[in-house]
Amino acid sequence: MTDQFPQGFLWGTATAAHQVEGDNRLNDWWAWEQVPGHIRNGDRSGDANDHYRRFDADFALLEQLGQNAHRLSLEWSRIEPGPGQFSAEAIAHYRQVLASLRAHGLEPMVTLHHFTNPVWFAQQAAWESPDAPAQFARYVGRVVDELGDAARFWITINEPTVFAYQSYLKGDWPPGYRSLTAAGRVLGNLIRGHWLAFEQIKARAPHSQVGLAHHVRLFDPDRWWAPFDRLAAVVYNRLFNLGVLRALETGRLTWFQRRFISGGQGPRRSQDFLGLNYYTRDRLRFSPRNRAEFFATRVIPAGVPRSDLGWEIYPEGMYRTLRGFAEARLPIYVTENGVADADDHLRPAYLVDHLRAVRRAITEGAQVRGYFHWTCFDNFEWGEGYAAKFGLMDRDRRIRPSGRLYAEICQTGSLPASVPPPTAPPEPEPPRAPELR
Ligand code: FCB
């Protein structure tokens, strides 16, 4: 097996508008951040990475680091600050951003919804409302009318399951609800929003490539021999991983999704590629009293390598997921993969091990066409604020050793012969319940 990647492979990093742009006052996250207790250490996104103004210099840096693609999101609340009111200024700004990417040789991959909602939309029950999919599609239609010629790759929605879970079931993100019914309704409406957006984009830009960034988490039984642990893993896999993919494949909501919203069919095969966000896996232990979490508890055994956020580091999961995806016979882009690692002692090995898993899946037939590392520089990590550091660079764009290593990989299109070992052993940490993301 060679560690050379195919010709034309896209090498890049991924960001989301609210996490990097700064001063995003018109969305629901800005308001949420002002309330003490919502964000770790009381952090607020504030001016984030000031990327709204510094984008051109930032893209020049990514070009220098050998990248040839970049995933970013457009901030809906800037483009449509009031219902049906579109901002010519914001649209002109994003036109410049996309032109700058091209000028720096970076193929844009544009996400239309990455967790944040305009305040006006949030005030109208956001994704719980039956009107939400059509309102989202109106925004998407306008964006593609204005910018459809400036990008070929479009991602409708980032991680519908994570969004529904964090915002409506776990209650850690705005609007902070804890309701299975609300989460189910939101998930159904996000899928309908994707269907409508897919049709809007295809009608206006038929040659575009449209997909959705799906967060796949591996669920394994904690005890291989325990039938109920195994059952829990099957149920979680269906609910969290397979449900969305099925709905996109068949154009119909699954039985579980139909319990929460009525009606609604979409086009069959409503994606041109599969977008995969892969970070970690969970081991599940059956716990009959944990009704709120579908009768299972997520555990990480002591001694398992993990990130600063306690997520297990499990590169084999990348391979297993891609191998499963290969059956869909669609091109695949790894739209996110990365690790919270403040001192960069884990990231070099994480990077190489996960890319090796990608390479192995390609050898076995998975059509992986690109990899976007999360993320280029430390940024506002939602509920974790600035404490979780996922960057190949720090917030001031100082390049970490892993950033240099990634540059070498992008420039040569191949992996180094040996995996850099972790530079310092991780401090032993008490096991902590992992988050579902
Ligand atoms: C993903 C999100 C992304 C970032 C990474 C760490 O679930 O899409 O915005 O928070 O996790």
Which carries the bigger pLDDT value, residue 275 or residue 254? 275
Q: Which residues contact 232 (CB under 8 A, 6 or more apart)?
A: 219, 221, 284, 285, 286, 294, 295, 296
Provide φ and ψ at 60, rounded to 5°: -60, -40
Residues with CB under 6 A from ligand 1: 16, 158-159, 162, 215, 277, 336, 374, 381-382, 390, 437
Angle of helix 347-363 relative to helix 316-326, nearest 10 degrees, comes to 30
pLDDT > 70 in the chain, percent: 95
Look at residue 435 and tell me whether its pLDDT is greater than 80: no
**What is the best residue among 18, 159, 308 to mutate for testing ligand 1's pocket, by most ligand atoms within 8 Å of CB?**
159
Look at residue 389 and tell me whether its pLDDT is greater than 50: yes
Question: Which of 180, 87, 91, 201 lies closest to 136 in space, CA to CA?
Answer: 201
Q: Using the mean position of ligand 1's atoms as its centre, give its distance from the Cα of residue 128 in Å.
A: 22
Return the CATH architecture of domain 10-412.
Answer: Alpha-Beta Barrel (3.20)
**What is the best residue among 72, 337, 381, 384 to mutate for testing ligand 1's pocket, by most ligand atoms within 8 Å of CB?**
381
Mean pLDDT of 249-258: 89
221 C-beta neighbours (distance < 10 Å), count: 20
Provide φ and ψ at 317, rounded to 5°: -65, -35
Q: Using the mean position of ligand 1's atoms as its centre, give its distance from the Cα of residue 288 in Å.
A: 30
Task: Show the tokens assigned to 265.
Answer: 């069919």
Mean pLDDT of 302-320: 96
> Which amino acid makes up residue 224?
W
Residue nearest to atom 1 of ligand 1 (CA): 437
At residue 1 the predicted structure's pLDDT band, cuts being 50, 70 and 90, is: very low
The confidence score (pLDDT) of residue 424 equals 54
* Domain ranges (residues) in the chain: 10-412
Residue nearest to atom 7 of ligand 1 (CA): 437
DSSP state of 241: I
The confidence score (pLDDT) of residue 427 equals 53
Mean pLDDT of 162-186: 96
The DSSP code sequence of 138-197 is HHHHHHHHHHTTT-SEEEEEE-HHHHHIIIIIS--STT----HHHHHHHHHHHHHHHHHH
Antiparallel, parallel or unpaired: β 274-286 and 296-299: antiparallel
Provide φ and ψ at 82, rounded to 5°: -135, 160
> Which amino acid makes up residue 143?
V
At residue 432 the predicted structure's pLDDT band, cuts being 50, 70 and 90, is: low
Q: Using the mean position of ligand 1's atoms as its centre, give its distance from the Cα of residue 14 in Å.
A: 9
**Alpha helices by DSSP H, 65-103:** 76-79, 88-103
Antiparallel, parallel or unpaired: β 209-221 and 153-158: parallel
The confidence score (pLDDT) of residue 262 equals 75
Residue nearest to atom 10 of ligand 1 (CA): 381
Q: Using the mean position of ligand 1's atoms as its centre, give its distance from the Cα of residue 228 in Å.
A: 30
The confidence score (pLDDT) of residue 257 equals 83
Q: Which residues contact 149 (CB under 8 A, 6 or more apart)?
A: 205
Compute CA 210 distance to the chain's CA centroid, rounded to the nearest angstrom: 15
Q: What is the pLDDT of residues 60-70, one digit of tens each?
A: 999 999 999 99
Question: Which of 240, 241, 242, 221 lies closest to 232 in space, CA to CA?
Answer: 221
Question: Which of 361, 300, 359 lies closest to 325 in space, CA to CA?
Answer: 361
What burial class does residue 7 get, using C-beta atoms within 10 Å of its C-beta: 0-12 exposed, 13-18 middle, 19+ buried? exposed
What's the whole-number average pLDDT of the chain? 95
CB 411 within 8 A of CB 288: no
Helix (H, G, I), strand (E, B) or coil at 166: helix
Give the C-alpha separation, 154 to 371, whole Å. Answer: 15
